[in-house]
Amino acid sequence: MTSSAPRGTRPYYVSVDDEEQVFKAAYRQNMSIVLKGPTGCGKTRFVEAMAYDLGRPLITVSCHDDLTTADLVGRYLLRGGETEWADGPLTRAVREGAICYLDEVVEARQDTTVVLHPLADYRRQLPIERLGETLDAAPGFGLVVSYNPGYQSVLKDLKDSTRQRMVAIEFGFPSPDVEEKIVASEAGVNTDIASALVRLGQAIRRVETAGLREVASTRVLIASGRLIVEGLSMRTAARVAIAGPLTDDALVAGGLIEMIDAYLPDDNVRQGD
């Protein structure tokens, strides 16, 4: 779990469509929001930027299979020989009027996420059974969840009853010109390097193979750029930051390396050359 307050510089985010307008309109109407899109396309950074713009603290929870309702709501802990109640991140957000962001919410069990229902609709309440009380959400509270539809299955999906309590914002990868600006800014590389990395990413996204569960995200392109800034060649950076994380299949990895060699300059070309 991470928590942050809107201070300092606004997190870098380039608007692609009307997602900022939709998010802020839904937030002002006390509506919960679900962000859908592929891994590494900017969902988390978008939430950080929106929390900054709205002047609200942000509490982020990375969901996983073992996440329980108690992990979200809270539990009794033994401290100094005495039993004390400790709020979970969701309860803290409800009390403080923060935005609570549940990242990859479908990774959590459905019997855990059902606790969101009274918060996600008109009631805006969080029942805490162990305390025997129901909290009304403080002004400013917002509930945002995200997931990658590419991982959907019968076992990993949002319940329909959860979906219909939320406004959905669809995310995809930005257009090449926008993505170049993002990679250049986030990685600190020049325009030529950012452009070459984006062209490679676009090519990988057009590949259809069973051995490639995910395509090259903006995140891995930025990671490549950051390694280039550190002095690694473009091809080496792409091999370890793109080909390596995307697949363990030797045949598919070989194909990706061939694409890297075809789309990126020779190994002696580095940032600043």
The answer, yes or no, to whether residue 225 has pLDDT greater than 50, is: yes
Do residues 148 and 203 share a domain?
Answer: no
Are 26 and 138 in the same domain?
Answer: yes
| Overall number of domains in the chain | 2
What pairing do the DSSP bridges indicate for beta strands 133-136 and 82-87? unpaired
Mean pLDDT of 118-139: 94
Q: Are residues 153 and 231 in the same domain?
A: no
The predicted pLDDT at position 63 comes to 93
Query: Which of residues 145, 170, 195 is at a domain's end?
Result: 170
Q: Is 18 within the bounds of a domain?
A: yes
Place of tokens 């918060």: 119
252, 262 in Cβ contact below 8 A? no
pLDDT at 1: 63
Residues 37 and 89 occupy one common structural domain: yes
Report how far residue 115's alpha carbon sits from residue 135's, in angstroms, rounded to the nearest whole number. 12
Residues 155 and 74 in one domain: yes
* Whether residue 150 sits in one domain with residue 29: yes
Mean pLDDT of 202-231: 89
Q: Are residues 164 and 190 in the same domain?
A: no
Q: What is the DSSP secondary structure assignment for residue 211, as one 8-state letter?
A: T
Residue at a domain's end among 170, 193, 214: 170
**Same domain as 154, residue 25:** yes
Rounded Cα distance, 171 and 235, in Å: 29
CATH label of the domain that carries residue 14: 3.40.50.300
pLDDT of res. 138: 97
When computed from its CA atoms, the radius of gyration of the chain, rounded to whole angstroms, is 21
pLDDT for 209 beyond 80:
no
How far is the C-alpha of 178 from the C-alpha of 129, rounded, in Å?
A: 47
pLDDT tens figures, 27-68 = 999 999 999 998 889 999 999 999 999 999 999 999 998 999
Q: What is the pLDDT of residue 15?
A: 83
Are 158 and 239 contained in the same domain? no
Residue type, 236: T
- Tens of pLDDT, residue by residue over 71-87, are 999 999 988 888 999 99
Spatial neighbors of 186 by CB under 8 A, at least 6 apart, are 12, 222, 225
For residue 16, what pLDDT is reported? 81
Average pLDDT over residues 12-31: 93
Tell me the mean pLDDT in the region 239-249.
94
- pTM of the prediction? 0.86
User: Alpha carbon of 75 to those of 85, 89, 258: distances in Å?
Assistant: 6, 11, 52
**Whole-angstrom distance, CA of residue 11 vs CA of residue 52:** 8
175: Cβ contacts below 8 Å, ≥ 6 apart: 16
Residue 154 pLDDT > 50: no
Is residue 71 located within the same domain as residue 189? no
Q: pLDDT band at residue 152, thresholds of 50, 70 and 90? A: low
Of 125, 133, 65, which is closest to residue 90 (Cα–Cα)?
A: 125
- Structural contact between residues 200 and 242, judged by C-beta atoms closer than 8 angstroms: yes
Residue closest to 53 by CA, chosen among 96, 97, 89, 21? 21
Q: Domain boundary at 117, 150, 170, which?
A: 170
Q: Which two tokens stand for residue 105?
A: 């919410």
- The mean pLDDT value of the chain amounts to 90
Helix%, strand%, coil% for the chain, nearest 5: 45, 20, 35
**What pLDDT shows up at residue 35?**
96
Q: In this predicted structure, what is the pLDDT of residue 270?
A: 53
pLDDT at 267: 63
Q: Where are the beta strands (DSSP E) in the chain?
A: 2-4, 32-36, 58-62, 74-79, 82-87, 99-103, 125-128, 133-136, 142-147, 166-170
Task: Tell whether the model's pLDDT for residue 155 goes beyond 60.
Answer: no
Is residue 39 domain-shared with residue 22, that is, in the same domain? yes
Lowest mean pLDDT among 5-14, 148-157, 168-177, 247-256: 148-157
Q: Is there a single domain that holds both residue 197 and residue 158?
A: no
Residue whose structure tokens are 């193979």:
209
Q: Confirm whether 166 is domain-assigned.
A: yes
* Position 32 in a domain: yes
| Residue 144 lies in domain | 2-170
| pLDDT for the residue numbered 110 | 80
* Distances from the Cα of 85 to the Cα of 24, 75, 80, 225, angstroms: 34, 6, 13, 46
Average pLDDT on 191-220 reads 89
